[in-house]
Amino acid sequence: MLTANPQLTADKKLKHLLTTEGLPKKLIEQILETADQFVSVGDREVKKVPLLRGKSVFNLFFENSTRTRTTFEIAAKRLSADVINLNIGASSASKGESLLDTIDNLAAMNADMFIVRHSQSGASHLIAQHVKAGIAVINAGDGRHAHPTQGLLDMYTIRHYKKSFHNLSVAIVGDILHSRVARSGIHALTTLGCPDVRVIGPATLIPSEVERMGVSVHHDMHRGLEGVDVVIMLRLQSERMSGPLLPSAHEFFKNYGLNAEKLARAKPDAIVMHPGPMNRGVEIESGIADGCQSVILPQVTFGIAVRMAVMAMVTGN
């Protein structure tokens, strides 16, 4: 028996955003189309719309992040919400309070939405199952599992520059094993009908049986980038590695860092993406990161609009 998707209401609208896995194609497209309406808000003299006026949004970051937390805060404020940022590591969690006790106390302060980043996979799912009806939960990254808004902003960026997913070849390069960004991106790409998704990296950083997700695996970057339309570089997540998975950062850049020679294997109009923060000279050469094929800064700009779209949709707007 199929269980209901916990992210969706009975009439298939977005209730929470926990993962891109199992998210219907129609709903992903609706998120991207809704984001279209918010991109121009950043160009206005008054960068606000009133959709979430009177709503309280709690940024709960149990794990450090500057870019994601900041873009969620900007997105919520542009929707006119009241935003409360909590440094959980320096407060209740360090005093021994359980995760769900923390959530209950914040819910008692009339929270309408929780933006949750946590080092443990599944934390946002646990919270979504626990909160009362009417409180929305958005996963801002949980362990190695998922980072759905990053996956969606990457889809928005690809669609902006390439228009359609149906004839694209997309390469995701680097530390696939530890990357929730890679997982969220792969699920979104395959759902949107991208016919050729490739993962490229050393054998030690590729999950076993990743092919079951609908991707092809390449260990030679030159071959893996042959004829691709989109190159998504990943951050090397040294903090999540246990044991010597790499000989050295220098060796990694030699084999899997993106430089002009390797990028020349892709199509001439290929775009280069990176979720940030970048390790220049390890994952990507500065000349490529700042070059004409890079869309890394537009990704950040589009990310605000995509997060606005998700926040508006989970509150029924």
Residue with tokens 């926040």: 311
What would the pLDDT profile of 64-114 be if each residue is shown by its tens digit? 888 899 999 999 999 999 999 987 755 555 555 688 998 999 999 999 999
| Topology at the third CATH level for domain 25-144+301-314 | Rossmann fold (3.40.50)
DSSP assignment, residue 120?
Answer: S
Cα separation, 217 vs 30, in Å, equals: 30
Buried b (16+ CB within 10 A) or exposed e, 143-178: ebbbbbbbbbbbbbbbbbbbeebeebbbbbbbbbbb
- Annotate 206-220 with DSSP letters as a single string: S-TTGGGGS-EEES-
Asked if 190 contacts 247 with a C-beta cutoff of 8 angstroms, the reply is: no
| pLDDT over threshold 90, residue 35 | yes
Using DSSP's 3-state secondary structure scheme, residue 63 falls into coil
Asked if 232 contacts 154 with a C-beta cutoff of 8 angstroms, the reply is: yes
What confidence score (pLDDT) does residue 63 get?
Answer: 85
* Strand bridging mode 230-233 / 82-87: unpaired
What confidence score (pLDDT) does residue 247 get?
Answer: 63
Q: 294 φ, ψ to 5°?
A: -75, 135
Residue 14, strand partner residues: 8
Cα separation, 241 vs 237, in Å, equals: 7
- The more confidently predicted of residues 140 and 316 is 140
Asked if 81 contacts 138 with a C-beta cutoff of 8 angstroms, the reply is: no
Using DSSP's 3-state secondary structure scheme, residue 143 falls into coil
Q: Looking at this protein, which amino acid is placed at residue 132? A: K
Asked if 279 contacts 236 with a C-beta cutoff of 8 angstroms, the reply is: yes
Give the dihedral sign, CA 189/147/35/111: positive
Half-sphere CA count of 22, side-chain side, radius 13 A:
14
Please name which of 167, 141, 170 lies closest in space to residue 155, comparing C-alpha atoms: 170
What confidence score (pLDDT) does residue 238 get?
Answer: 60
What would the pLDDT profile of 254-310 be if each residue is shown by its tens digit? 999 999 999 999 999 999 999 988 999 999 999 999 999 999 999 999 999 999 999
What would the pLDDT profile of 151-198 be if each residue is shown by its tens digit? 999 999 999 999 999 999 999 999 999 999 999 999 999 999 999 999
What confidence score (pLDDT) does residue 86 get?
Answer: 85
Tokens of 175: 């530390």
* Whether the bond into 6 is cis, omega within 30 of 0: no
| pLDDT over threshold 80, residue 125 | yes
Numbered ranges of CATH 3.40.50.1370 in the chain: 25-144+301-314, 148-295
**Residue spans of beta strands (DSSP E) within 248-303:** 271-273
Domain 148-295 in CATH 3.40.50.1370? The answer is: yes
Asked if 237 contacts 203 with a C-beta cutoff of 8 angstroms, the reply is: no
What confidence score (pLDDT) does residue 242 get?
Answer: 45
